[in-house]
A and B are shown apart, each in its own frame.
Chain A
Amino acid sequence: MGLDRRVFFKVLGATGLALAIGKKASATKSSNSDVEFNGILYDATRCVGCRTCEYECATAHGLPAPKDEVEVVRTTNETCNTVVNTFQTSKGEVHIKRQCMHCNEPACGAACLTQAMHKNETGAVTWDGDKCMGCRYCMVSCPYDMPKFEFLKTNPKIQKCDMCFDRQKSGEKPICVTNCPNDALLYGKRRDLIKEGRRRIYEKPELYVDHIYGEREVGGTGWLYLSPVPFEELGMNTTLQQSSYPALTKGFLYSVPSVDLLLPPLLLGIYAATKNNQSKDKEDE
Chain B
Amino acid sequence: MNNSAYPIAKEKEIKFDWKFLFNELKPKGKWLTPFNIISIPIILLGIFLIVIRYWKGLGSITNLTQDVPWGLWIGFDVVTGVAFAGGAYVVTFMVYILNMKNYHSIVRVTVLNGFLAYAFYTGALLLDLGRPWHVINPMIGNSFGASSVLFLVAWHFVLYMLAELIEFSPAIAEWLGSQRAHKILSGMTIGAVIFGITLSTLHQSGLGALYLMAKDKIHPLWYSEFIPVLFLVSSIFAGLSMVIFEGTISHKVFFNRISDKNEKAQNGIIHGLSKICAVTMFAYLVLQFVVFIHGHNWSYLNTPMGYWFLVEMIGFVMIPMMLFFYSYRTANIFMIRLAAILTMIGVVMNRLNVTIVGFRWDAAVHYIPSWMEIIVTLAVIFTEIWIFRWVINRMPVLGDSPSWAKDNK
Chain A positions within 8 Å of B, measured between CB atoms, are 6-7, 10-11, 13-14, 17-18, 21, 24-29, 75, 77-78, 107, 109-116, 129-137, 139-141, 143, 145, 148-156, 237, 239-241, 245-246, 248-249, 251-253, 256, 259-260, 263-264, 267-268, 270-271, 274-275, 277-278
Contact = CB atoms under 8 A, between A and B. Distances in A.
Nearest to B63: A151
B375 interface: no
Interface in B124-182: 128-132, 134-135, 137-138, 142-152, 154-155, 159
A135 B152 CA distance: 14
Given A133-B131, A264-B198, A148 B216 contact: no
A192 B265 CA distance: 74
Given A249-B212, A252-B206, A111 B150 contact: yes
Contacts of A112: 145, 148
Contacts of B134: 114, 130-134
A111 B217 CA distance: 15
A115 B212 contact: no
B131 A132 contact: yes
A29 B159 CA distance: 25
Contacts of B65: 151
Nearest to A146: B66
B282 interface: no
26 contacts: A6-B187, A10-B192, A11-B191, A21-B152, A24-B144, A28-B147, A113-B138, A113-B154, A115-B145, A131-B134, A132-B130, A135-B130, A139-B66, A240-B216, A246-B213, A248-B213, A248-B215, A249-B213, A252-B212, A253-B152, A256-B206, A263-B197, A263-B198, A267-B193, A271-B99, A274-B97
B146 A7 contact: no
A27 B146 contact: yes
Contact of B138 (A114, A129, A136, A143): A114
Given A10-B190, A136-B69, A140-B213, 4 more contacts: A21-B152, A113-B154, A114-B145, A134-B132
A271 B190 contact: yes
A283 B81 CA distance: 44
Nearest to A154: B57
A252 B174 CA distance: 41
Contact of B202 (A141, A152, A256): A256
A141 B192 CA distance: 34
B86 to A, nearest CB: 16
B202 A78 contact: no
A259 B198 contact: yes
Contacts of B97: 267, 270-271, 274
B113 interface: no
A20 to B, nearest CB: 10
Contacts of B152: 21, 25, 253, 256
B7 interface: no
Given A240-B216, A264-B198, A268-B194, A135 B129 contact: yes
A42 to B, nearest CB: 22
B214 A14 contact: no
B130 A156 contact: yes
Contacts of B193: 267
B131 A156 contact: yes
B194 A111 contact: no
B205 interface: yes
A35 B378 CA distance: 50
Contacts of A75: 66
A111 B151 CA distance: 8
B191 A14 contact: yes
A145 B66 contact: yes
Contact of A137 (B62, B132, B150): B150
A278 B100 CA distance: 10
Among the interface residues B57, B64, B143, B147, which one has the most CB atoms of the partner chain A within 10 A? B147
Given A133-B130, A256-B202, A14 B150 contact: no
